[in-house]
Structures are given as structure tokens and as C-alpha cells.
Amino acid sequence: GCGTKFVAPPEGEEAGEAEEGRGDAERSIVRDLHAEPLARRAFKRFLHLEIVACLSGGAGGSSAFGVLELVGGTEDKQLRLRPGITFHFYSSSVPCGNASIKRWAKGGQGPEARLAEGLAPDQYPQPGHSKILFHARAEGQICFLEKCAARATPAGEVGADWPAGTRPFDGQFLRSCAGGVGRRALLTCSDKLAIWNVLGLQGRALLEVLPPIFVETCTIGRKFSAAHCARALCCRLQDFIPGRVADLQDPFRIHHVAVLGCSEKLDSGVYDGEGVGADFSDASCLAWALGDEAAEVLDGRTGLTMQGGTSLIAGPTFRALCSSWRMHLGLGGQRATAAENHVPLAEAHVQAKRLLEAHIVKQCVLCKGTCSGDANGGAAPKRGETSCRVSAPSPETVVPPPSDELVAAIGRLVRC
């Protein structure tokens, strides 16, 4: 994926003044055209095509590129990754959002760089992340952000130094819009990567036939800092694990990824910020899936192709691909709804997504005032309210008071 755009709501829509009849159009556009979501959508397209190829009689029951294989036979209606297949994420620059906030930790290459020494070219280090004490929650240390028009936060407000084009997420994952179609909040790429490290890259539909797929490493080009990337992409959800979150089931839990920097950059250009050293005026965005003859060019202003058509990575196209492999498996052409789907993994995914959203609202939403809420979530803050959720550190991360001996030692040092 290659892109820097997103399709913002029309003026007045978030205030409930959207024009009628736009429901079908909403379902057909790709709203987030940043590189990371485009890459993930292209990867989902690749998986759909691989499933179709595998079920169409690939050699030895494997897919076109040998990534998937049938478990048993077609009658078992299940596939899996072939042994030894792993997936790795690369971004030419640090993902927008929390990972780009260089505060609350020291920069550097991190433990994975040392663990990578001496490894063969086809090997990679395991994550070396220690549990983090989040001491600056009220400052937004682990908060989620959403994409917005690039404008400054009014002086004096919490978050006045957020990265350009972002603002604190208010906890409303689903917003109403035209035609009764719910519109998901446009979270930043750091937040989306963190969510994918819990729920997998594949989405719910593919869980009917395929286990969840997680990336093993995340490699960053420009502006890489291991501590900040680890915090943003996985560690701020370090407590989202079975045993810490009621009713959460494996394999849906936070999967820590090895965060790595590049010795070779994608290009030699330098971006100094504030629009210097980069040109964001071109609306063209690219998406390519292995197996496609060429990259598809999308219009970042509309979320459609440059010719005004529906993209190969848009919802309607995914639904058509899903219908294709469902027909091969005798499951019927239409994808089952969450209520109808009795596949254990799909049910667990729905439950995990609900729990994750509640966890994010409780732990990772910044507020202007005091907050409350139970550990498993509650009502999200309403638009316009002056208070939302910022929870106190969990019992494991509360810093104990200093001992009498430590206080006395500090007193002696002060007197000296």
C-alpha cells in the first residue's frame, strides 16, 4: 500500500446533518487510504484469492503461491498456513498516531536489535518487551487518536501537541451517518496496528475457514524509535490477555511484535515536518496484492478508483470473493452474520472485539475531567461531554510508597 489520504465526513455529517441516500456509496468506498490500511486490505484480498485457488484444485491441495493448504479435505471446510510461513510488516516511515509521539521513553534501536545480531537472513528476533509502567496516562501516553483534518488543537486544551492531523479518540467506535449506515471512527495507523495485533489481520469472515493471522515483526524506515513503536503497536495493550480480561479467549490477545529499524532506507529524501520535504498534494494512492497484474490506483479524495469505480479492496469486492469460496465449500453464497455464525473462532473474534473496544474506552481514551467505569467497559463518553475515561493504573502497575530507609537516604543527600 502507498498513500497518505483519508476520506473525511462531509461538512455537518458528524453533527447529524448528512444528506440522505448515501448509504450504498458509504459501503463502496475505502475511507482510510494511508499506506498501512491499504496494505492490510491488499493482504486480505490476497488471502481471499489464495482460498479460492486452493479450493479450485491447486496442486496437492495448496494455494496458488503455496501459502495455504487444506486441512483434511474439502469436506472439512478448513484451511491453514503451510508450515514455516510467517508474515512481517514493513512501513517506510513511522505509523501515524501514538508511535510518532517521541515522549515518555528514550529512543534507540531497542532489545530486538541486539537479539538480531548473528541471525541468518531468513531469521528474525523474538520480541524483547518488558512490562511498562504507564506513568503519564493523563498526558496521553497510551491514548488512542483518530484522523482528522490537519488543524491545530486550540491552545490550552489537552492534546495541543498531538501530531498534525490527529486528535484524541472520544471512545465512540461507531458514528451514525447517512442512510442509517454506521461509520467506524477513523483511528490512526498506530491504533489499527495495535488492534490487528489482538484480532489478527484477516477480519471475521475468513475465520470461517482460516485461523487468525498475526504479524511476527514490524520494521520501520524513517523516524524509528523502538521504545515508542513498541508502546504504540502492542505494549499499551499489555494487559489485554486471558486471565486479566474476563471472558477473553485465546488466540485473541495482545501479540507482541518484534520492532525493528532499517539499515537501508526506501529513499534518500528527508522530511523535516510542517510540510517541508514532502509533497502530499497528489491524491493518487496505490494498493497491490500478490497475484494482481498491477497496482490499483485509488483517488484519495473519494475512496474510489481514479475512474470512479469500486476498488478491488473495498467491501463489496470482499463480499463477492467471500461468496465465491463459500460456494466452493457448500456454505451458501452469503456470508453468515455475527448472530448466525456458529464457527467457534468467529464467535470468539466477535467477543474479543467487543471486549477490546471496552478495554480501549476504559484504558486508552484521554479526557478533560474525571472518569469512571468498570473494568469491562461501559457506556462510551458522549460527544460534547467534558469527561471521558482515563483509568488509574492497574494494581500490578501502581508504584508503592518509598520506604522509610529510602526517605532517610534522600534526606541525607539533600543535606549534603
Sign of CA dihedral 137, 150, 286, 271: negative
Distance separating alpha carbons of residues 383 and 270, to the nearest angstrom: 39
Least-confidence region, from 78-82, 315-319, 376-380: 376-380
* pLDDT score for 43: 97
Specify the amino acid at residue 335.
R
**pLDDT over threshold 50, residue 147:** yes
Distance separating alpha carbons of residues 2 and 5, to the nearest angstrom: 10
**pLDDT over threshold 70, residue 253:** yes
What is the pLDDT of the chain when averaged over all its residues?
78
Distance separating alpha carbons of residues 332 and 267, to the nearest angstrom: 47
DSSP-derived secondary structure for 241-291: SBTTBTT--TT-S----EEEE-SS-S-S----BTTBT------EEEE--TT
Distance separating alpha carbons of residues 96 and 404, to the nearest angstrom: 45
Q: Band of the pLDDT at 255, cuts 50, 70, 90?
A: very high
* pLDDT score for 10: 52
Predicted confidence (pLDDT) per residue in 208-238, tens digit: 999 999 999 999 998 899 999 999 999 999 9
* pLDDT score for 405: 53
* pLDDT score for 175: 75
**pLDDT over threshold 50, residue 375:** no
* pLDDT score for 330: 79
DSSP state of 2: B
Pairing of strands 215-222, 87-93: parallel
Q: Which three cell numbers stand for residue 108?
A: 534507540
Tell me the percentage of the chain whose pLDDT exceeds 70. Answer: 70
Least-confidence region, from 80-94, 189-203, 368-382: 368-382
3 state DSSP class of 330: coil
Q: Band of the pLDDT at 25, cuts 50, 70, 90?
A: low
Distance separating alpha carbons of residues 364 and 197, to the nearest angstrom: 16
* pLDDT score for 60: 54
**pLDDT over threshold 70, residue 179:** no
Packing angle of the helix pair 35-55, 315-328 (nearest 10 deg):
20
DSSP state of 236: G
> What mean pLDDT comes out for the span 44-61?
81
* pLDDT score for 14: 44
The torsion region of residue 303 among left (phi > 0), alpha (psi -120 to 50) and beta comes to: left
Least-confidence region, from 50-54, 176-180, 326-330: 176-180
**pLDDT over threshold 80, residue 153:** no
Distance separating alpha carbons of residues 197 and 407, to the nearest angstrom: 42
- The pTM for the full model equals 0.80
Least-confidence region, from 4-13, 74-83, 172-181: 4-13
* pLDDT score for 383: 32
Long-range contacts of 147-151 (CB under 8 A, 24+ apart): 147/6, 147/32, 147/34, 147/96, 147/186, 147/187, 147/188, 148/8, 148/186, 149/8
Predicted confidence (pLDDT) per residue in 98-129, tens digit: 999 999 988 888 788 777 888 888 888 888 88
**pLDDT over threshold 70, residue 408:** no
> What mean pLDDT comes out for the span 145-159?
63
Q: Which of 100, 88, 96, 84 is nearest to 39 (CA)?
A: 88
